[in-house]
Structure 1
Amino acid sequence: MTLPAPQLDDLTWADMMAAIRRRIPAESDGTWTLHAPVDPGVTLLELFAYLLEQRLYWLDQVPDALVVAILRLLGLEPPHPARPAATVLSVAARQAGTAVPVIPAGTALTRDPAGQIVFTLDEDVAVFPLAEDGEVTVWTDRDRTADLRARRGVPLLAADGAPAAARFTLPLAGAHPAPGPLSLLFELDAPAASVPAWLPGAVADVPPPAELTWSWFRPGTDVSGPFAKCEDGTAGLRRSGVVRLHPPAGWTTQDSGILVSTPAATHAAPPRLLQLAVNASAAHHRRRRTASGSELQEQIDAWLKLPGEHLVLPEAAERLLEATLRLGGQEWRAVPDLTFGGPADQVFVLDRTEGALVFGDGLTGRIPHPRQEASVEYAIGGGRDGNGGMTANWVPAGDSTAAISAASLVRAEGGADPETVAEARRRAAASLSEVTRAVTVDDFTTLARTTPGVAVARAYASLGEHPGFPCTPVPGAVTVHLVPAVPREDLAREDFVAAPRPDAGMLRAVAAHLERARLLTSEVFVRAPRYRDVVLRADLSGDPADRARVSAQLTEALRRYLDPLVGGDDQDGWPFGQPLRPSALLRAAHRALGDLADVSAVAIGLDGAAPDEDCREVPLGPGELPVLRAVRTRIVRAVEPGEGLA
């Protein structure tokens, strides 16, 4: 529960005057006898009580500067500035002769006819020519191009730890050399925790789930080779991102084949490819500008050596994102607030509404000297206005006749308006309930599930479990078992993973996260769950009309009931270590079949053993989960009511 806000102004003017009047006889030794408002002394006391009441009221009116200062003292972020939206653009250009044009980073493109919403490219883009009506083809175990065209999610690498590879053919035209890298968007059907690389919240150094090798080949020939360099924004196909492949010398657009391979496909589940696009680059709702000379000098010459001077920037009102100032040859920097600035600190704050730099008062932040040469490098943009759908009408800002155009490959997302102080206070209050230290069992599981950059669906902390001493509880040891988030919308899909295991990169990321949060006396280990193979036998009374349908429906229902992610009575995963009870499985079978058949008994076999006729529960150890391998059905004679009674 949140603490109630303190109330400091509960003393009213009437209460103060009543208390003062009661003390007048004692304080005056009885000489002050007239206590009515007509007495000048009482009038003065009433005035002082009025002034004091105003001071008490001010105690609860906390200024914004104090709120920001308290946030910083608590180690919390100050109010967030505006955030630019991000998208990925596919760039096209009219070819000039045989040269492949390179569009530099920072090129401004707009989808708005008025040119108010401007995005800039994050990276240089070599715009390779594409074949007319060409498309990307995909081959894994078979041709998957039709699935990719329909965005059905193409599984690229099997998640079984064995060697795996996927081949792509890009629709490149001609025989042009490469003036820059191949920029490819890989949009994956990844969990929400694996934020796309171009959006806020993406982790820059998240460990890859598998070690990938990228190489090229010429379709229809044996010509192939490795790329000189790879910048993998997908973090090993863990998330959506832009992959920049640097071809070696001698490569041409005839070498349009891409091979991605790994000696051990250790992904938690096969990466599902939704889209692969060429000539792609991330772009942000941000445009950089420089102001100097006559644009600023008139304002600077009008400054006085007074607190709170402003420097208004051209075209920055309601759009200012960031700025750096050089004044008189010295660099000034932007800060969230001036509260912690000293008299000599060359700092300023950004006023997004006015589009200006605001300086200090000589006590918190230095007062700038007038009549100095100034130059400001700043960025404009950001806010919710940049969010939007997918369009194909991107043109260079301010020059609609230019030889380049672009189309958005994904929705523009992530743009946000500046956070108000009131919103920052609510965020700070919510942060009080956040888990930052690993003390209790719930702390370990919460921190594991919220590790940035990896998608952990479930975690189980086993106190006293030490991998080096499996039979003896070890004080201070904690082993955390992880179940990764993998697709569960279709349990019959070909790339369904029945027993999902965390990849090595996920284990490292969670271990590092817990290492920073653990107590000094704790020893933390991060492991995969221990899966126990389960075989069930279901006895069907009577003779079902469609035994194949009954068997398939029963298998699917029991597989879902025992699933580590969507199983159990609460459908949030089979609880770690919960025993297998024939009665619970029988109840799940009845719910699944309804009137199709009558299940009279369920027998359980564990780890390859034959299903046991005994009706006792089958125990599982801590950190263990079942995985259903098969359901066998047999027909038994229906028992009539009263049969066997004498």
Structure 2
Amino acid sequence: MTVPTPNLDALRFQNLVDDAKQLLPILYPLWTDHNVSDPGVALLEACAQRIDRLSHWLDQVPDRSVRLLLHHLDADPYPAVPARVNLTVTGTGEIPAGTELIDPSHSVSWYTTSKVTETSSGATVQAVAAEWVSEELGTSSGEPGQRFTATRPLIQVLGLPDGPDQESPVLTVPGGPWTLEPSFSNTTASDKVYTLDPSTGEIGFAPVTPYSDGPRQQGATPPEGAPITLSYWAVLPAPPQPTDLVLPGVQVVIDGYEEALPAETPDEALQRLALGLVPVRRAVTASDYETVLRQSLPAVTRTHTYPADLGATESIAMAAAYAEAGGTAGRAGTLRVRPDRGGRSANAYIRFESPRFPVGRALLHLYSEEVTGEGARVSVRAAGNDDWDAADLDSSNEPGGRGAWVTADVRSCEWAEFDITSIVRESVTAGGSSFSVQVTGDPEADSDFEVVLSSGPGVRAPRLSTDDGADLTVVVIPSGQVEAARTELESVRLLGARVLVKAPTPYEVSVIVDAQLWVSPQDFEGVEAAETAIENSVRGYLDWLTGGEEGTGWPFGKPLRVADLYQLLEGHPDIRTLNRVLLLNGSGVSVDEIRGLAEDSLPDLDTLMLSTRTLEVTVAPIGGDPKVVRATVRGLAPGKQADVDFDALDAMPAVPTGPANADGVATADHTYGGPGTYLVKAVFKTDQVDHSGQIVYVIDPEETP
């Protein structure tokens, strides 16, 4: 179905006047004199006459003006397409692009459009019906801006090689070679260049254009009387469908045939434009950026675009501790992120409102695995002083991570702030998910206090743009296409638009599934197949491209909840009883939900452990101390032993059980170092399969002596 082109010249003078008069009683009831002598009616008739003339002019726009409009909209009409055949070729060597195949029944030549390097076992290639022609288009008048048109539809982009000993297409003018250019925007008066419209076969020479300092010649002009000759591959408009193609020494099988297509007309291009079928070449909205990447980079499998503006102030509560001589008291510090005046970038700063800082100096320490502190600065201000005092950071490698510190005078005051934007941004840019800040007194000044803030797992890190003032962030999957996407979007963004292109921010999670299967535990192959199906379900649910409830990829920034995993697995056909599902964050802590995620965050499933109870394992404390436990393993053959890993998440050395009794039961003892969540796994190895079972054992800090 096509969209009909409207006839803009259908509005006539009298129709416009009559329509206007019919609206007068509705819009202006007091206007009762509708005769031609009324001045108001005279004005209506004058407007109707003007509209009648304008609508006539609009329908008289020549094709050349329409083509210029389409060109500026990146909707140039498509050129003609030659007839094509898909071939399977079998031979002994290489077939270059442009190899001629003869149709003996119709004396038509077909040419391969790509190179085939190996044909011994059969290879596929496409061939087109074409003809190399040299055509004299006319004679130059010596005037700038001349145009000439080829009489045959030409081929420019189907992969055909150069013509006989020359490039394709080639323009021949006495006096030297001429170069094909897409436009005259970067050419000078001496450049021998021309343009070519592949849909019409029209070539153009450089015009003279007006500038503020006078007219300027955009390129050279062929001398008067010079013949203009164009050599090119021409489309055969309606070649017969071949039944046999001959290439000496090669077996050729025709697998398919497609007819030649004429060049698209301006009207057809306008219809395509109206249907939204034109590639986006200029990104204005957020969706435009994603559309451009889908059209131009097929390797980009998924994108996500969102405004980089933080909008309003955000606060991140962080664990805080305060200690001073004479005792310990709980005090709070806050790390805040706030936008600048323009609302685009943000500052990260720490504000302490209590306790009062002692007279003297304070040392600010920052620790992170990513932060170096090199070149970063920290600004400090305190109550009674509105100015920020900048201080250079000293840095060094600290055990367990890199550290940086600054010495600042804070004196006794109601509050103090430390602006740590640059160093936090360095951590975020490097992929950091956690860092800590420590403020201590200066021992030399006898000021003894300490405040520690740590952003642990599950606490949202400051959402700072790595590109100051970016208006839009475009997230690209896979990460290997980030640089290509950045280059592509740079060419289509609006002037002044600031776009940050980056890979997703992964957050590490682990999942433990404790379930009983429908399949018999002794059916080892069935157990393995069921475990594989369960693992595929979980990994597929969290997949960046095919996961989520819609199957289109896990949503960016969506919190992951353990309830989602229960809902996924409760209806799994291989699971008889779902005993327990645990969701662990990046530090191995069991949580109900991964919160505080950035807009571009996606889950990275680090570990998936399945407990399907081929062996039954139970863990119980000995003597009332939850840290001293005994693991009981059931399901062993009498006299056999199992290896028990009391902390499978941390790869502790396994502890062997004693020999199983007549009921197939064996035990092993262990003492834990402290509270935590532990995965206890028992394994009995045979030559064919590993029998295993596991259970989660939790030691609550409140129950620990």
Give TM-score, length-normalised by structure 2.
Answer: 0.43
Q: Which has the higher strand share?
A: 2
Relative contact order higher in (CA < 8 Å, ≥ 6 apart)? 1
Give TM-score, length-normalised by structure 1.
Answer: 0.46
